Structure formats: structure tokens, C-alpha cells
A and B are shown apart, each in its own frame.
Chain A
Amino acid sequence: MFGFSSKQLIGVGLFLFAIFIGVPLVIGATGRWDFYFTLTSVALLAIASAGVWLTFYIGRINIGQGAFALIGAYVSAILVVKAGWSFWISLPAAGLFAAVVAVLIGLPILRLRGVYFAMITLVLTQVVTLTALALPVTNGAKGISNIPLPSGISVFGIPILPDFAAMENTKLAFYYTACIIMILTYAALYRLVNSRLGHLCRSMQQNEELASSIGVNIAYIRIVIFAISSFFGGLGGAMFGSIAQSVYPSSFQVADSVNFMLNCFLGGLGYVFGPMLGTLVLYFGWDLLFEFGKYQMLIYSTILIVIIRFLPNGLLSIRFGKGGDK
């Protein structure tokens, strides 16, 4: 089915079962309702990380995803609060806006390679934060708060999506929404990587000169990939703003951009689902070390360094061995 082996199908089935049925059951039994917020955050950060992973796939280190997440969060918030749009329409709009910005920024900077590209993307988050502080439409340092919860959508009187404000358990609703968007994101990513575009990305990652000699318009593919990557960033950011019901210039900072990149490293750059696992481990790892107080950062960084030293291909390389690309 869909070109998957039965083993893969079972894996996907188990995964879907775990996040849609298993997690709510466990949370219901243990009463740890705060886990919904944690897991929702993981899902949303994993969406943004998927974008970063994709830029890695064309051989570019992207430390600027926080910028696009912030852009997405603001676009969605402004459209909902000031223009009265439905959140569900503002969500793809936020992604598209982030993609358009990525095209404009990408045109001059994507020809840079290695550390030069990385340094410029590192600055992007700060630039967007400062822009948000300066522009009237983003409300400066006060940010945009009191964003209404997503309203329902119905087509010809048939409800398609429920009104979140009328719901008893918005945490569960947000959790499901975030998971569904995450799954769609990773399904799209998996498909992309295994289609011709993905093969061309691989060829560019390995040798841009040779890729252009076989007729690949590398500048065009780079822009397309960077736009898709930023679309994911905008999507994740917009969803985040909706859950927090507020957006501030500090909602996504340089540290978040760095984390998005670390999620990819940790999970494994060779595996489509690497960033998902990386985000989960990194997010929970940080929380679990909370009790170490002032040593939290020290222990956390040491563990990261050890993992990257001994598992340079990421956590998933334990499971799949070296060089797999699933």
C-alpha cells in the first residue's frame, strides 16, 4: 500500500495509535493534564524542525527557523485579531507569508554555503524580533494578546471543524490538531524526499557543481526548498500563537532557532523522522533535568555533546544503522 512495506505500515499504525489513543489514555489515567501542553508543544516544534531538516537536505545549515515561526505567529494573530479571519484560514496564510519572505531573503543569501549561510540565518531571528518591536501593526513590545481561540468552520451548515471556545477540553483539541498537522507535515516531507525533488536535493547536497552540470537549476531548487522549509516554520509558529493566545517579539528567539537545528542533529540528518524524535527527546530531556537547578544547562549540554560525539548520525542511527535514508 502506497509503496510501503508491511513492516513500515505496522510501524506507522502503532505510532498513530500511540499518539491518538495511547497518550490520551495514559494522561487520563495518571491525571497529568499538563502533559497535553508539553506534547502539543513538541508536535509544533517538530513541524518547524521538519523545515530546518529540509534545508539541511540541500546542504545548508539553517539557524533561522525562529524568524519564520515568529512571522507565522504574527501573521496569523494579525489576521485573526485585526482582520477578523478564521484561524483555520489564517494558518495556511501564515505559512504562505513565511514562504514568500523566505523567497525574498533566500534570493540573495542562498548562494552562500556552509558557515556563511548559517551566520546570516542566525541573524534573521534577531532581525524579525526587532522588526516586530518597531512596526505599528505588531504592537511593539506589548505584542498581540487575547487572541481568540479557533472558531468553528462549517460548509453549507455542516460543521467541519468545531468551535474551540465552546469546548470543555481545549487542551485535547489543540493536542489533536497539532498532531494531525505534524503528521501531514511529515507525510509531505517523506513524500518529497522520496520523490524526484528529494533526489535532486540529495544531488545538490553532495555536489552542487555536478548537479548544475546535469541540468539542475540549483538556484531555483534552493529557493523552492527554503520556501517549503519556512512554510513549515510559519505553520508551527502560527499554531503556537493560537495556543498561547498571544504573540510577543520574544515568542521565538535565537535560542529557539538553535534548538530547531539541534533537534535535527539529535534525531539524525539522514532520517526524515529524525527531527520529530529529536524534538521529543530534547524537549523532555530539558524538562527532566529541571531538578538539577543551576546545573541544568551544564548537564544538558554535556549530554548533547556526548550524543553528537558518539552518534554523529543521530539517535535514529541506533535503530537503522548507518546511512539509511528512511
Chain B
Amino acid sequence: MSPLLQVRNVTKKYGGLTANNDISFDVAENEILSVIGPNGAGKSTLFKMISSFTPTTTGEVIYRGERISNLRPHIVARKGVVRTFQETTIFKSMTVRESVVVAQHLRARASLAGYFWGSKTAKNDVTAFGKYADELLEFLGMSDISKEQASNLPQGSLRALGIAIGLATDPKVLLLDEPFAGMNHDETMNMVNLVRSVRDERGVTVMLVEHDMPAVMSISDRIVVLNFGEKIAEGTPSEIQNNEKVIEAYLGSVDDEIGM
């Protein structure tokens, strides 16, 4: 079976600085794949290129046999590859439910003019959006905060909201940007379970960029390790944990940093 998403020889240069150098790896369907690496390793840049938020300098990203790099973000989203952001990127003055309703843009069947005139398709859409929003919020355990304004939410709920907004688009591949950052152990475990159920129950392939080692080790099927813009390793969590290059270049330094 050919992989769902392929990163092929992707390089990104900002002037003289090489953020990513010749990165290649595959993502299989229904997999949870993590991209890890120290700060400045080029993880976020890689994510931006996969979601076409920034063009590649050379190389390409292929999704189901189609190139999705160097397009525009909404087109990539339409194809089913959707990214989430870190917690500050939300619709601040919308409620949780409103955010999830508006995020179902790609599920709309009526035209914008149809919504203006109130066509039958549009009315059906509006009902369906509301129903799906409630269902999704229930699935994510957020029903009780559905009427809260997004700007009033605590950090953990903001992350969940980000995932809810991403899921509302019916993605095939969801790219999560540091879903565990700044969370305590319990919050992290909740989020790990949530991400797992997104994959298990909704059939969404998940790629994530993350710092939190224990969480990454427990959640990932496979891990790609970046260091200074280069891919230095790829494999299952146990392979990565025993990879000398990784231990030397990455894990060791992190252990010192956070005093593990």
C-alpha cells in the first residue's frame, strides 16, 4: 500500500539560513506520527510547508499521489490536510460552539448567495452544522463549555478547541502543533487519550510536532527526529529511544535542560 502522505526531499531556505535540508519520510494511513527535535530544528517550518502556509524552496509534499506543497492553505485544507495552531490562534470573540460551526465551512453544500437568500440547502446546512458541532463537542468532552467565549477558556480547553476546529473540517490528516506544550501531567494524559480517540474513532491520520518526550513516546506509532534542519532518525518509539544519534544529538541535551 502506498503511503497516504509523502514528504520528498523538502528543503527550506530563508536567505542564507537552511531551516530544513532535504527531509524525506512517509506517513501511512491511520498512523500517529510525531516530528520531534530541539528548538530551532525546523519542525514548525516543516509543518508550514506540509499545510502550504509557506512554500518549499525545493522538494515537494505528496498527498494521495497529488502535490500539496506550494499551493494555498485553503486548497490543502479542502483536500483534507488540516493543521491546528498553538493556543493563541483561535477565534477569540466567538463561543466554542460558534467556532466549531463556522469551521464546518468545507462541509457547506449551499453557495454563499444561498445562505444570503436562505435557500433550502442553506437551511439544511445550518441545521446540520449545529448538529455536528454538538456531536463533535460531546465527543471531545466539551459540551459543558460550548457556550463559553473562546477568549475566556483555560489553556487546556483552548488546545481542545483548536482540535475541535480542525476536526470540524472533516480532515483526513490532522497536523497538531505542540498539543501538549505547557500542560501538566494529567492534562497531557487527557490530551493523549483525545488524540488517540481522534485516530481510532474518527479514522483521522495524525501528525504532531512536540517537545514533550514521555507523551510523544506513548502516543506515537512512529517518530521522525530533526536536528538543525536535518532528519537524523526515523522509527518506532523504542527504536528512537535506543538510537545513538538521537541520544547524542537530542535526548541527552533535553534531559539536561529539563533535569530529568
Which A residues lie at the B interface, using CB under 8 A?
Answer: 191-192, 195-197, 199-200, 202-203, 206-207, 209-210, 212-219, 224, 323
Contact = CB atoms under 8 A, between A and B. Distances in A.
Contact of B74 (A192, A196, A197, A217): A217
B240 interface: no
Nearest to B79: A215
Given A191-B116, A195-B116, A214-B168, A203 B91 contact: yes
Task: Name the residue among B93, B112, B118 with the largest chain A CB count within 10 angstroms.
Answer: B112
Given A207-B91, A214-B106, A214-B169, 14 more contacts: A195-B112, A197-B112, A199-B98, A200-B102, A203-B102, A206-B92, A206-B93, A213-B53, A213-B82, A213-B85, A215-B106, A217-B72, A217-B74, A323-B93
B140 interface: no
A215 B166 CA distance: 10
10 contacts: A195-B122, A196-B115, A196-B126, A197-B116, A206-B94, A207-B89, A210-B90, A213-B77, A214-B165, A323-B93
B68 interface: no
B227 to A, nearest CB: 27
Contacts, number: 89
B89 A209 contact: yes
Given A212-B72, A213-B77, A197 B115 contact: yes
A200 B122 CA distance: 15
A216 B105 contact: yes
Task: Name the residue among A196, A202, A206 with the largest chain B CB count within 10 angstroms.
Answer: A196
A196 B110 CA distance: 10
A219 B105 CA distance: 15
Contacts of A219: 72
A326 to B, nearest CB: 15
B148 to A, nearest CB: 13
A199 B133 CA distance: 15
Interface residues of B, number: 36
User: Secondary structure of the A side of the interface?
Assistant: helix
B185 interface: no
A73 to B, nearest CB: 27
B91 A202 contact: yes
B165 A210 contact: yes
Interface of B: 51, 53, 72-74, 77-78, 82-85, 89-94, 98, 101-103, 105-106, 108, 110, 112, 115-116, 118, 122, 125-126, 165-166, 168-169
A215 B165 contact: no
B78 A215 contact: yes
B209 to A, nearest CB: 15
A123 B49 CA distance: 36
B94 to A, nearest CB: 7
A210 B92 CA distance: 11
A217 B78 CA distance: 10
A14 B47 CA distance: 55
A117 to B, nearest CB: 20
A191 B115 CA distance: 9
A210 B90 CA distance: 7
Contacts of B102: 199-200, 202-203, 214
Nearest to B108: A196
Contact of B105 (A192, A200, A224): A200
B74 A216 contact: yes
